[in-house]
Amino acid sequence: MSMWEWATHPAWHHLFNVVQWLFIAYVMALLLANLTLAAFAWRAVRRHRDTLEWNLLPQAHGEFNLPVSLLVPAFNEVAGIAASVRSLLLLEYPRYEILVINDGSTDGTLPELIEHFDLVPFPEVNHLRIPCATIHAVYRSRRYPNLRVIDKRNGGKADALNAGINCANYPLVCAVDGDSILRRDALTRAVKPFLEDSRTIVAGASIGIANGCRISGGQLEAVDIGTSFFARMQVLEYLRGFLLARMGWSPLNAILIVSGAFGVFNKEVVVRAGGYRTRTIGEDMELIVRLHHDFRRGRTPYRIASVPEPLCWTEAPEILSVLRSQRTRWQRGLAESLALHRSLVLAPRSGAVGWAALPHYVAFELVGPVIELGGSGLLLIGAVLGWVHWPAFFATVFFAMSAGAMITALALLLETTATALYPRPRQILLLAAYSWLENLGYRQLVVVWRIQGLWHWARGAQHQWGTMTRQAALGDVTRPADLHALYDPEEFDAESLRRVQAAIARTRRI
């Protein structure tokens, strides 16, 4: 058989027709899954809006709010750590403490904190209920009684959070990235799920992109979508990830990820679970999946909630190399978490977590990049070699692009309903236009990076703290005129929590 006869053999046409229809079926399955999530997300957002006024208590009734320990891991953050901490001191919440965990920084982060906040060594007896690297010293601010700094040997972000949990005095702990910008009422809104449902063990929130926004005094003053191509692409990704996906899984109690940038946890639950796992790069997702696993195995009622409004804003990378590092790290963390808890998939009594959420993440997030790149690549090769008709190839590509744009359009619709962060029509129109541009290079680039992340996971490459090159700053943060939070180590046990929840229930019945 000659080369020409081999290349034009009908079997090749048949094989690539099968590949084409399988690829179309995969895209349709992805679209249907996202349409279902959008329906659940719409229901969750409507319910949240209906109950918002009842559950947001005025600050005058501070006794109804639960005290929170803010955990801020910091590694070589000398450039912005002082401004970040000052912005956290401005939060409007009656009782909270800030614990900055200096994870063996080598760039002067600790001296910067000592100088700006008048820190002095303070001897404390800490019960190390979770293993962590050696704690060298604990400092307390003489100027702000609710601020402490923990200096420890380097052990990574997860280890730093474990050290913070060991030193926290309050029943709720909130993990916050050192470069995050929180809304003044972020804690009030994030604690709400714990008050309305005693089964709540974790509450997350949407994360906003700070690029292009106006920031002054460590506070967000005006929201925009940024000016760079990469910033706007990430705005779309965050809208899909938080409003569509996580709010969609919320009614099923099957949220698998609470962002490491901002999340509130029941401290005792995290301690019983063993804290954050230090030998994984996706410690935030792994902890959430482990909590699902433990509570499902113990048949204990629980709830993992999500708040649709962005309570935390973070700067997205606009440098290509930094963005690539972030996406490969995320994909590797996803693979590690799913592999560690694979026994939960389709397990008896695993509920929507094991029968819906985990299979969804395996099919569309874990192996999705391989299917997407492999399927589109094979179809392109088939079209070039004549095994697939060019009109059929372009029709398939257009269908895939349309499905992606439709999913983004649903996320934009949810945004206008849930938060209306971008009220100007120009902003929404630009984002809608970028939902099509996303398919012309950017999406394919991210798919390649995610496959690289899978490869790094498969060969067991060494991982470490991620680095981020900042393009913006928190702005000049002035010293707070008064202290909103006073350090108070008063015991706030489970019985106190039940009394608060019972009082709120009576108030809502009135």
Tell me the DSSP string of 238-268.
HIIIIIIIIHHHGGGT------TTEEEEEHH
pLDDT at res. 454: 95
Task: Describe the crossing of helices 186-196 and 10-55 by its angle, rounded to 10 degrees.
Answer: 90
Q: pTM, whole model, 2 decimals?
A: 0.87
Torsion over CA: 438, 439, 442, 444 (sign): positive
pLDDT at res. 153: 95
Task: Give the whole-angstrom CA distance, residue 255 versus residue 242.
Answer: 10
Q: Give the residues of the chain that fall short of pLDDT 70.
A: 1-10, 12, 50, 52-64, 461-510
Rg over CA atoms, the chain: 24
pLDDT at res. 399: 92
Q: How does DSSP classify residue 459?
A: T
pLDDT at res. 358: 97
pLDDT tens-digit series, residues 134-191: 999 999 999 999 999 999 999 999 999 999 999 999 999 999 988 888 999 999 999 9
DSSP per-residue letters across 96-145? EEEEEEEES-SSSHHHHHHHHHTEEE--------S--SPEEEEEEESS-T
Amino acid identity of residue 313, one-letter, is W
Task: Give the whole-angstrom CA distance, residue 165 versus residue 129.
Answer: 9
Task: Give the whole-angstrom CA distance, residue 261 versus residue 277.
Answer: 17
Check: CB of residue 306 under 8 Å from CB of residue 263: no
Q: Which two tokens stand for residue 139?
A: 């400092």
CA distances (Å), origin 269, targets 223, 265, 399, 405: 35, 8, 45, 40
Determine what percent of the chain is predicted with pLDDT higher than 70.
85
pLDDT at res. 464: 54
Q: Which two tokens stand for residue 50?
A: 């209906």
Task: Give the whole-angstrom CA distance, residue 415 versus residue 224.
Answer: 14
First to last CA, the chain: 86
Amino acid identity of residue 271, one-letter, is V
**Torsion over CA of 240, 246, 250 and 251, rounded to 10 degrees?**
30
pLDDT at res. 451: 96
pLDDT tens-digit series, residues 242-289: 989 999 999 999 999 999 999 999 999 999 999 999 988 889 999 999
pLDDT at res. 5: 57
Task: Give the whole-angstrom CA distance, residue 180 versus residue 171.
Answer: 22
pLDDT at res. 222: 86
Bridge partners, 70 (sequence order): 98, 174
Task: Give the whole-angstrom CA distance, residue 363 versus residue 324.
Answer: 22
Residue that the structure tokens 């084409």 belong to:
20
pLDDT at res. 461: 65
pLDDT at res. 6: 56
Going by C-alpha positions, the residue among 140, 188, 91 that lies closest to residue 484 is: 91
